[in-house]
Every structure is written in structure tokens, then in C-alpha cells.
Structure 1
Amino acid sequence: MDDPAAPASARPRGGGRGAGRVQKSLAKAVAGEAERHPGTVIEAFATDEHRLGLKPILRRVWAPRGERPVAVGHHRFEWLYVTAFVSPKTDESFWYLSTGVSKRDFEDMLALFAREAGAGRDRIILLVLDNAGWHSPPGLTIPEGIFLVYLPPYTPELQPAETLWVHLDEPVVNRHFDSLAELDAVVARQCVRLTADRDRIRGQAGFHW
């Protein structure tokens, strides 16, 4: 596993062999936990954060020839954050909304995820995540049954949770929201739909590696 505390110059950048490095890190972590906890279920999850806000998300749309489509928007820099935990193998997903990101916020979400996913002595979860500052180990309390596996730097393409945002954004693109509360309600409903749509989760996050 990579040391997230190491300076960027000392850590290898992502590249063509990045997926292979992740495979090796996961295989090593799985083997180690299996040896320490024989007979225990050991699974891999991935987590990532996505920022939404009152600044509109715009996408291209079809329009009659000669007509220019119009999307109503009002740029305001107020943000809502969605954190997803997803298992590419079991299609399980857990979604949490917040108004910011910090080490304390992530610590609280880890604890909630561990409880809801049943992590502990009977289910060990290896959690794949990037090297964001609030993910780094110093001062971070990690729940029992959760072990962190860090992606190589600059490799968002290797993060299965990253691929879910295109679906999360579906009900909010090209729309104007008056408040974060209104946006929160729409995004929360979409999180519930995605949690139940395990076929879509499998098709999107089920990386071959």
C-alpha cells in the first residue's frame, strides 16, 4: 500500500501499470487479513466524494434544428457533498450527504458505514480510496473491521466509486435550485434509487481488475 504521508515527489505517479499496482495491493491486503482472521469474510469496497451545489451542472441536450436550448441557472457557490461506498463484487452501495469535507467528517462517515455494512470481527472490509488530505491516517480513527488501501496518486480512473457520479447527477443537470435544502432532497432520492438499482451499480462499478 502507498504511504499517503510521503511527499508527492517520493510517490510514483499513476500510469499504465496503475491497475496492476492496485491489484497487488489488494491481493496482499486480503492475504494478510485472511491469515490473521481465518474463516472471516473479507471484501473490497471503494469510496469517493462528489461535490454538487447551486452552481448548475450543464449537459448537452437535443433541440430542434435552428433553435438553441436554454437552461435556467444562477451561479452561487454553496456546496453539497455526496460520499459513496460501493462494493463492485456484491453491488452494495451506501450514500451519505454532507455540507463539507474534513477529516472529522470522514471519520464520522467511516463509523456510520462500518455499522451499516456490518464491518467488524465477522466481516472485514478493505476500503479503496484516494490520497485526499482528509483520508490520511494521522489522527484518523478507523473502525474495527475497516482497513484502508490507497490508490496510486493521480489515478482517478482506477476508482470504481468515481464512475457513479454520472448517474447521481441525472436528476439535477440543467436545473436551477433555489436552496441547498431543495437540492438535498432531490439528490437524496436519487441516492435511494441507486442503492436499490444494484444492476446499474454492478454495470458501472464492476471493474475487471
Structure 2
Amino acid sequence: MIGATAIGVGVAPANFTFEAHVGITNQQSLFVINDGEGIAEYRVYVDDQYVDWFTISPNNFTLEPGEHNEVTIGVKAPLSASGDYDLKAYVIASTPSSNFEVGSGIKIPVHLTVSNDSLFLMLGTVSILLIGIVAAGSRWKKRRKGKMTGQSDKIETADTAVLTPVIENADNQEDLESTVEEDSDSVPEK
């Protein structure tokens, strides 16, 4: 890994090349090394006009002498982007008490090639999926409507079948009650 150094700060790699596709995040690692003699605070960022395109994690941290930290730099180009871009990433080192007013730093060249081919592929795939969902929904609705019509006939038949025994039982109940009344007349009273 080829790196770069400044007083109290070292980085690897010394430059980045990103092949980015619109809508897809591409990530790479940057290693920051405290090659100074004291504790230092570090800040990592990119040119202002590209801040919304990049995620940097962590972007602020502290390192002891000889200690290093891995920083993940991700780029997700906006829908309007296409072509080649040259920009800088920065790693600034400062003593904890200076609040980054005085320090040293490194500029890291970044070359970014953005392709929006995947955008067209993604839009085509989404379109095909939507057409499939609409077509399947229409077929399902037609089938469901047909089944519902068939089920209502069955339900009417089932209601009739259920009601008939209940009515018959009701007739039997009246017969039973009249029989019980007749039998109770024949029971002698005390």
C-alpha cells in the first residue's frame, strides 16, 4: 500500500479511484496513522461541492502515537451525475488543545467515474416488475370474483341445510312439549 505523510499524519492509500454507479454506494478504506510523537485529533472530509455524495466514517477521531485507524469512505453519486470528476479528500491532524486551528494535513487526490447505466437497468427492472404485479393482480381479482360468486351459492345451500334441521327440531320440540303436558296430566298429585 502506497501512502503519504505529513507531520503527525500518515495515510494509505495516497490516492483513490472510484468507479461509481448512480444509486449504488461504492466504499473503500483509508488508513490514517499517527506518525507523530504526541496524541493527535484527526478530521477527514472531501471538497465542499461533493459533501452530499460521500459518507465518511468515522470522520473525527483521536490517535495515540504510532496508532492507526481505518476510515470507510463511501460514494453514492446523485441521479444527475455522469462522467469523470476529480476532487480531493483531506486528512487534518491537530493537537487536542488547538481545536483544528493549527495542524498539518494531507490532500488525497480522488478520481471518480460515474456511470448511470445501472439507473436505466434498475428502472427497466422496476417497470417490468410493476407490469407483472398489475397483470397478476388483475388475474387474481377476476379469479377471486368468480370464486366469490360460486361461494355465495354454497353458502345459501349451507344456510338452507342448517336451517331445515333446526326447523324440524323446533317441530319436534313442540311435539315433545305437548307430550310432556299430556304425561303431566296423568301424573297423580300429592
Report the TM-score when normalising by structure 2. Answer: 0.22
Name which structure has the greater RCO, CA cutoff 8 Å, separation 6+. Answer: 1
Greater fraction strand: 2
Name the larger-Rg structure: 2
Greater fraction helix: 2
